[in-house]
Amino acid sequence: AQTVTQSQPEMSVQEAETVTLSCTYDTSESDYYLFWYKQPPSRQMILVIRQEAYKQQNATENRFSVNFQKAAKSFSLKISDSQLGDAAMYFCAYRTGANSKLTFGKGITLSVRP
Amino acid sequence: EAEVAQSPRYKITEKSQAVAFWCDPISGHATLYWYRQILGQGPELLVQFQDESVVDDSQLPKDRFSAERLKGVDSTLKIQPAELGDSAMYLCASSLSSSANEKLFFGSGTQLSVL
């Protein structure tokens, strides 16, 4: 069974600084997709960034980027120039193949200090 | 931007009662998902529909939970009878297709409290 592990329950960052959220996963598949979702206090979850396992280049979306280490099965999210609106729970997620389920980690609560 | 609609936003019920949640996905989205999220945890998939067909309900407690998407558009999730352990946030999501790289759009959820 595929598992997604987020070992840090909470993190804090100073506004305008950079923070990295960790995620590891376990799979026997060679082709899969990884995602980071953000869940603000309003609770509507939104996609932050996604990475295809077959791509060596790390995905980037504005201030958000990932460090994808396929051999180590590691998928961390880096948030640059942190803003107050970045405060939320962040979930790492994994999916493989059509009709497969999206499996989430337990999440990490990120707080941003003004 | 179009959103996934869910109702009610909050539901309080007593154990052994029946409850139902409704979800209206984004128009044109063929795939619909129901997730359960316990406080402080990540969402867990209960059921996944492709149009009106169930493609994954392996984690749905079928003795008390049921889900339907009769016309392949909106969906209802029912619990009967509700138990104390069912207290959680129930999230609905939709996507254009069931492709693995597809982006999921989530609703605001229904917060269920069973007393």
For residue B35, the chain A residue with the least C-alpha distance is A102
* Of A110, A71, A103, A79, nearest in space to A5 by CA: A103
8 Å CB contact of B101 and A99: no
Q: Closest partner residue to A50 among B41, B93, B101, by Cβ?
A: B101
How large is the average pLDDT for residues B48-72?
A: 94
Q: Is B103 an 8 Å CB contact of chain A?
A: yes
Residue to mutate among B38, B90, B106, B112, with most A CBs inside 10 A, is: B106
Cβ separation of A91 and B43 shorter than 8 Å?
yes
Token digits of residue A16: 């305008």
pLDDT per position as a tens digit, A41-65: 877 899 999 999 999 899 999 999 9
Note whether B100 contacts A105, CB cutoff 8 Å. Answer: no
What pLDDT score was predicted for residue B1?
77
Structural contact between residues B42 and A106, judged by C-beta atoms closer than 8 angstroms? yes
Alpha-carbon distances, residue B45 vs A6, B1, B23 (angstroms) = 18, 25, 15
The separation between CA B102 and the C-alpha centre of its own chain, rounded to angstroms, equals 18
Which band of pLDDT confidence, cut at 50, 70 and 90, is reported for residue A104? very high
What pLDDT score was predicted for residue B70? 85
Give residue B106's pLDDT: 96
Residues of chain A by 3-state class (helix, strand, coil), percent to 5 = 5, 50, 45
Task: For A104, name the nearest residue in chain B, comparing CA atoms only.
Answer: B42
Asked if B89 lies within 8 A of A43 by C-beta distance, the reply is yes
* Sign of the alpha-carbon dihedral angle for B50, B56, B60, B63: positive
CA distance A90 to A64: 12
* 8-state DSSP, B86: G
| Residue A5 pLDDT | 95
Cα(A96)–Cα(B60) distance, rounded to whole angstroms? 20
Closest CA of chain A from B78, distance in Å: 21
pLDDT at A1: 63
Q: What angle do CA B53, B59, B61 make, to 5 degrees?
A: 95
**pLDDT tens figures, A7-43:** 999 999 999 999 999 999 998 888 899 999 999 987 7
B106 touches chain A (CB under 8 A): yes
Q: Which residues pair with A29 in a beta bridge?
A: none
Using a CB–CB cutoff of 8 Å, tell me whether B51 touches chain A: no
- Token code pair at residue B30: 């063929």
Contact A38, A61 (CB under 8 A): no
